[in-house]
Amino acid sequence: MNNFLCVLLVFLVIPMNALANDHLSDPSTREMDRINWMEFQEWIPDKINTVLLPTGTLEPHGVANNGADNTAPFAISITIAKRTNAMVAPTLAYGMTGSLAAYPGAFKMSEQVYKPFVKEILQGLVKNKFKNIIIINGHDGGQTAVLNEVAAEIANVYGVRTLVINWWSFAADITKEVFNENGGHAGWNENAFIQAIDPSLIQQDRYNDDLATPYSQNGSWSATPFPSSIILYQEGEGYVKFDQKQADEYFKKVTDKIATFIIEVKTKWDKAGL
């Protein structure tokens, strides 16, 4: 009888211990600016060695929020953080705004300021013992080139591994799949992505197709400021529509693709012993 009680006690205690330790399977938060320093030390780098850095800027986005380039990469990072076993660094919300800088609410940083600032942020992530530094970028133009250059330099100098993902470009195939046409800056695809994150950020009643202008397809003209804050990649495609179900589908497929790619790249790095 005593042996039976001992066995029974083991079966009772193991599930209780499993439940007690279940909270240890994930930190209290994946956001670096919300976690306590002692908890951070417990997790980084032994249990988590990857960080996601959202980068964007402030500029007009048609009937979406001026911070759409920040909203999108932050939402992506939060959504995929657990799947990629990553922490999320605070968003770098000011960037190298280009031809839309004259619009109300826009901010523009020069490359002379932006480049060393990004470099020091990445150095800080290295100092905090992250092995994999993944930049989820929400803004194109000269900013992308700077991020690529600085990320490569940091990787080569410090022996870490860096990856820069421009989400809208990386998701071009999904844009075609979901909407059956190309998108644009603040076009159907980007507007839908923000709509999926927070519909209250979309002022649908302000929209009309006259707010959109296609890029010059043959380089025959250039304008600064650009005449519209909705810039279509291809003439006749990307005009905004407001289907919530379609927006939600797009968000899920984009975030799934990005998460899968990050996991694949990390696995290849590991297998190569890099």
Read off the tokens for 44.
């980084």
pLDDT, mean of residues 172-187? 98
Per-residue model confidence (pLDDT) at position 170:
98
Examine the pLDDT at 61 and tell me if it is beyond 70.
Answer: yes
Query: Is there a cis peptide before residue 225, judged by omega within 30 degrees of 0?
Result: yes
Instruction: Provide the residue ranges of all domains of the chain, joining segments of one domain with +.
Output: 27-264
Q: Binning pLDDT at 50, 70 and 90, where does residue 99 land?
A: very high
Per-residue model confidence (pLDDT) at position 243:
97
Q: Say which CATH topology domain 27-264 has.
A: Rossmann fold (3.40.50)
Per-residue model confidence (pLDDT) at position 217:
86
* Alpha-carbon gap, residue 225 to 71, rounded angstroms: 23
pTM of the model: 0.91
**In one letter, which amino acid is 49?**
N
Per-residue model confidence (pLDDT) at position 25:
83
For the stretch 127-140, pLDDT in tens is 999 999 999 999 99
* Alpha-carbon gap, residue 194 to 180, rounded angstroms: 19
Q: Binning pLDDT at 50, 70 and 90, where does residue 218 land?
A: confident
Per-residue model confidence (pLDDT) at position 16:
39
Q: In the chain, what percentage of residues exceed pLDDT 70? A: 91
For the stretch 80-97, pLDDT in tens is 999 999 999 999 999 999
Examine the pLDDT at 224 and tell me if it is beyond 80.
Answer: yes
Please work out, in degrees rounded to the nearest 5, the angle formed at the alpha carbon of residue 148 by the alpha carbons of 146 and 153.
95
For the stretch 3-53, pLDDT in tens is 544 433 444 444 434 333 333 489 999 999 999 999 999 999 999 999 999
For the stretch 138-168, pLDDT in tens is 999 999 999 999 999 999 999 999 999 999 9
For the stretch 196-216, pLDDT in tens is 999 999 999 999 999 999 999
Comparing CA positions, the residue from 247, 244, 238 lying closest to residue 62 is 238
* Alpha-carbon gap, residue 66 to 56, rounded angstroms: 11
> In which order are the strands placed within the sheet that holds 184-185?
184-185, 230-232, 212-214
Examine the pLDDT at 1 and tell me if it is beyond 80.
Answer: no
* Alpha-carbon gap, residue 116 to 108, rounded angstroms: 15
Per-residue model confidence (pLDDT) at position 18:
38
Whether 227 contacts 237, CB under 8 Å: no
Per-residue model confidence (pLDDT) at position 231:
97
Mean pLDDT of the chain: 92
Query: Is there a cis peptide before residue 15, judged by omega within 30 degrees of 0?
Result: no
